[in-house]
Amino acid sequence: MEKTTDSASRAMLKVAERQDLSTIWDRFAVQTPQCGFGELGTCCRNCLQGPCRIDPFGEGATLGACGASADTIVARNLVRAIAAGTAAHSGHAKHLAHTLLKAATGRAPDYPIKDEVKLKAVAKRLGIVTEGKETAEIAREVAETALRDFSEKETPVAWAATNVTQGRVETFLKYGVVPTGIDAAISEVMHRTHYGVDADPVNLLLGGIKCALADFAGCAMGTDLADILFGTPKPVVSRANLGVLKPDAVNIGLHGHSPILSDLIVQMAHDLDGEARAAGAAAGVNLVGMCCTGNEVLMRHGIPAATHSVSQELAIITGALDAMVVDYQCVMPSLATLAECFHTRLITTMPISKIPGATHIEFSEENARQAAAEIIRLGIEAFKRRDPQKVNIPSHQSDVLAGFSTEAIVGALSLLNRDDPLKPLIDNIVAGNILGVCLFAGCNNVRVTQDQNFLTMAKELARENVLLLATGCGAGAFARHGLLTSEATTAYAGDGLKAVLTALGQAVGLPGPLPLVLHMGSCVDNTRAVQVAVAVANKLGVDLDKLPVVASAPEATTEKAIAIGTWAVAAGLPTHVGVIPPVLGSSLVARVLTQDVKSLFGGYFMVETDPVTAARQLVEAIRERRAGLGI
């Protein structure tokens, strides 16, 4: 199997081979064959009487020591994964909530509120009165509402309840899956999956859905609060892939997830251009993004994206990355070892996220600018030790048009119809110029040729006039391969889609159509797509599970992806996953996730590893929805 479709990644893998550097691909090869019990999800380590395994061929153990069946074990493992994903997004969101509270109460001068309009819109949606109040007051109330959303209370999680249709709320109430607290939901999952608590697989899965809805809330909160603190994204031009590294600049990589760190570095970087030049970097400081934090600063500041996910190590292997600063999530521990083979300084910043071998500079809201400067200076120092012999910057980079927040999309549509911006979108869907919408999300996965599933599916769907949205490392895949461009629309879009994107492109003043895929932001920004869907649903007077909208994580990897996929299903979307999740050890769980859940929530999982088949199945799902709407 080829490791990657990305030319820059390929070039760097050759360099890695020459220099005998191990990458995720090498380590994965040593890991195979992986344990079949783990692959099937039928290994349980929840108590000290284990580890228990269920023999899938029925001859050995058919029950765990405590009597848990394969169905129970698989369901427990799956919902714990959802809880872990939820905890990650929850951590991201609460960090922003604390920062907003500090900002509102004058304890974080480095974090002024940038988007008051967004602040008021969010407040209004939460039912907070904004008339006659100072910005700081509104911000405080929003932050306190946010913080309350994490723990024990008797009201639904506000960021979930206020961000979906009424129909969804009623469905969630009907099946008892409304979370009352984000952390409460996570904690409930850990409790019910403990030894000797919930053994009913369907009950467990419903508990997982409740937790996934808490994840949705955490994501939506993350999006809202980041927009409030750092600005709501607007269309922006930039570039992507390793070619964005500059031989004559201090290259600093921003990796991880939170704009609390990355946005500050962006703000400080050019203050230190002079020091960089003094150190010999004629082009000053060059910031590049990786993974979701890269998406955050791309969307807001046009910072170019170096690479994503499975190829994150390759940025260091260019020999031109002087520092990589990270916060939390999706940061491979191998980066530290790899950095030691080069001059690169790996800098961790969060108290809960350290890596042996890295330099730790504790970053807090109170000392943000100071810490950011210190970090950039470490990069400048490192630049002096760069070994020109080891520099191999591949030339590949693609143009990128990103920044499609909900507001930006609605803004573009309003140029076609000022009073009713959703009308042109809905009309084109009804007319069939847009068959439906597909949201691409998720990661790369080392077991899939990098980006292969994303690219194949996108091209198949675009040909069928499906409007494509993307977030996270999925958007990153499209960015690196030039699909976030007008040229890609011209090359791959079906006629109907092309016409719509051309009209929109013209309206916003582009020389060509809008890009083939609309980059909506980081993984928490998947909730932006939900916002658009909710708006359309409300306008049409139907619920989300009737819309011709589907989702796909063709190369999913993380527990966060499992959580997001689950809330997409709960929201009513047919949701494709391109790798096999560890659930096939229980035919009951597999059936519930792919069939039974459809009759409860309208959405369902589709697992298909072949991208062409997957695209066809998504088109069929879209057509089924259209038929249901009578269009």
User: Considering the rule CB under 8 A, would residue 53 count as an interface residue with other proteins?
Assistant: yes
**In this chain, which of 58, 127, 388, 509 binds other proteins, going by CB under 8 A?**
58
Closest approach of Cβ 74 to other proteins, in Å? 13
Nearest distance, CB of residue 71 and other proteins, angstroms = 14
Name the one range near other proteins by CB under 8 A: 219-227, 275-283, 324-332, 580-588: 580-588
- Looking at the Cβ atoms of 39 and 273, the one nearer to other proteins is 39
Q: Site for other proteins (CB under 8 A): which residue of 14, 17, 27, 35?
A: 35
Minimum distance from residue 567 beta carbon to other proteins (Å)? 26
Interatomic CA distance for residues 380 and 272, integer angstroms: 9
Q: How far is the CB of 243 from other proteins (least distance, A)?
A: 40
**Distance in angstroms (rounded) separating the CA atoms of residues 210 and 176:** 8
Residues 75/589, Cβ–Cβ less than 8 Å: yes
Distance of alpha carbon 74 from alpha carbon 589, whole angstroms? 7
- Using CB under 8 A as the binding rule, whether residue 48 contacts other proteins is answered as no
Could you tell me the smallest distance in angstroms from the CB atom of residue 541 to other proteins? Answer: 42
Which of residues 13, 16, 24, 40 is near other proteins by CB under 8 A?
A: 40
Q: Which residues contact 103 (CB under 8 A, 6 or more apart)?
A: 111, 112, 113, 139, 143, 229, 365
Burial class, 304, CB count within 10 angstroms (exposed 0-12 / middle 13-18 / buried 19+): buried
Check residue 56 for interaction with other proteins (CB under 8 A). yes
Q: Can residue 36 be called a binding residue for other proteins (CB under 8 A)?
A: yes
29 or 278: CB nearest other proteins: 29
Instruction: Quickly list DSSP for 456-497.
Output: HHHHHHHHTTEEEEEEHHHHHHHHHTT-SSHHHHHHH--HHH
Q: Return the number of other C-beta atoms located less than 10 Å from residue 178's C-beta.
A: 19
Of 133-141, 282-290, 457-465, 583-591: span binding other proteins (CB under 8 A): 583-591
Does residue 274 belong to the site contacting other proteins (CB under 8 A)?
no
Q: Is 26 a binder of other proteins (CB under 8 A)? A: no
Other CB atoms within 10 Å distance of the CB of residue 519: 35
Residue of 572, 614, 602, 623 whose CA lies nearest to 429: 623
Q: Is the peptide bond before 33 cis (omega within 30 degrees of 0)?
A: yes
By C-beta, is 39 or 399 nearer to other proteins?
A: 39
Q: Which segment (178-186, 227-235, 326-334, 577-585) binds other proteins by CB under 8 A?
A: 577-585
57 binds other proteins (CB under 8 A): yes
Scanning the structure block, which residue is given the tokens 């042996």? 356
Instruction: State in angstroms the smallest separation of the CB of 595 from other proteins.
Output: 16
Applying CB under 8 A, the span of 212-220, 256-264, 294-302, 582-590 interacting with other proteins comes to: 582-590
H or E segment and range at residue 153? none
Closest residue by Cα to residue 480 from 292, 230, 240: 240
Q: Which of 391, 499, 542, 584 binds other proteins (CB under 8 A)?
A: 584
- List all residues 6 or more positions away from 247 whose beta carbon is below 8 Å from its beta carbon: 320, 391, 393
Binding segment for other proteins among 55-63, 161-169, 325-333, 462-470 (CB under 8 A)?
A: 55-63
Under 8 Å between Cβ of 286 and 253: no
Tell me how far, at minimum, the Cβ of 73 lies from other proteins, in Å. 15
Nearer to other proteins, 28 or 175 (CB): 28
Question: Any contact of residue 37 with other proteins (CB under 8 A)?
Answer: yes
Q: How many residues does the chain have?
A: 631
- Find the shortest distance in angstroms from Cβ 591 to other proteins: 12
Question: How many angstroms separate the CA atoms of 331 and 384, rounded?
Answer: 25
- DSSP letter (8 states) at residue 525: G
Three-class SS of residue 120? helix
556 forms part of the interface with other proteins (CB under 8 A): no
Nearer to other proteins, 39 or 381 (CB): 39
DSSP states along 268-315? HHGGGHHHHHHTT-TT-EEEEEEHHHHHHHHHHH-PPEEE-GGGHHHH
Helix (H, G, I), strand (E, B) or coil at 24: helix
Strand 398-402 with 236-240, pairing: antiparallel
CB 359 within 8 A of CB 320: no
The answer to whether residue 59 forms part of the interface with other proteins (CB under 8 A) is: yes
- Closer of 36 and 280 to other proteins (Cβ): 36
CB of 584 to other proteins, least distance (A): 5
Between 37 and 216, CB nearer to other proteins: 37
The least CB distance from residue 40 to other proteins, in Å, is 7
| Residue 251, helix vs strand vs coil | strand
Geometric angle at alpha carbon 239, from 234 and 245, rounded to 5°? 130
Q: How many residues bind to other proteins according to rule CB under 8 A?
A: 17
Binding status of residue 127 toward other proteins by CB under 8 A: no
Rounded to a whole number of angstroms, the minimum distance from the CB of residue 418 to other proteins is 53
Residue with tokens 């570095």, as numbered in its chain: 265
Distance between CA atoms of 57 and 53, rounded to whole angstroms?
Answer: 12
Smallest gap, in angstroms, from Cβ of residue 1 to other proteins?
Answer: 16
Instruction: Please state, in angstroms and rounded to a whole number, the distance separating the CA atoms of residues 355 and 328.
Output: 11
- Is the Cβ of residue 33 or residue 388 nearer to other proteins in the bound state? 33
Cβ of residue 56: shortest distance to other proteins, in angstroms?
4
Give the interface segment with other proteins, choosing from 54-62, 286-294, 412-420, 432-440 (CB under 8 A): 54-62
Which of 1, 20, 60, 387 binds other proteins (CB under 8 A)? It is 60
Q: Which is nearer to other proteins, 70 or 443 (CB)?
A: 70
Residue with smaller CB distance to other proteins, 33 or 132? 33
Strand-pair partners of 52:
44
Distance CA 172, CA 563 (A): 16
| Nearest distance in Å: CB 592, other proteins | 17
Instruction: Name the residue among 301, 179, 191, 283 with its Cα closest to residue 238.
Output: 301
Q: Is 273 in the site for other proteins (CB under 8 A)?
A: no
Residue 241 near residue 396 (C-beta atoms within 8 A): yes
Hey, is 82 helix, strand or coil? helix
Residue 60 CB, shortest distance to other proteins, in Å, is 7
**Smallest separation, CB 375 to other proteins (Å):** 40
Q: Which stretch binds other proteins (CB under 8 A): 190-198, 237-245, 538-546, 578-586?
A: 578-586
Of these, 33, 509, 511, 630, which contacts other proteins (CB under 8 A)?
33
At which residue do the structure tokens 């390793």 appear? 242
* Cα(452)–Cα(504) distance, integer angstroms: 29
Answer yes or no: are the C-beta atoms of 16 and 23 closer than 8 Å: yes
Of 129, 278, 580, 631, the residue at the interface with other proteins (CB under 8 A) is 580
Interface with other proteins (CB under 8 A)? 33, 35-37, 39-40, 53, 55-60, 580, 584-585, 587
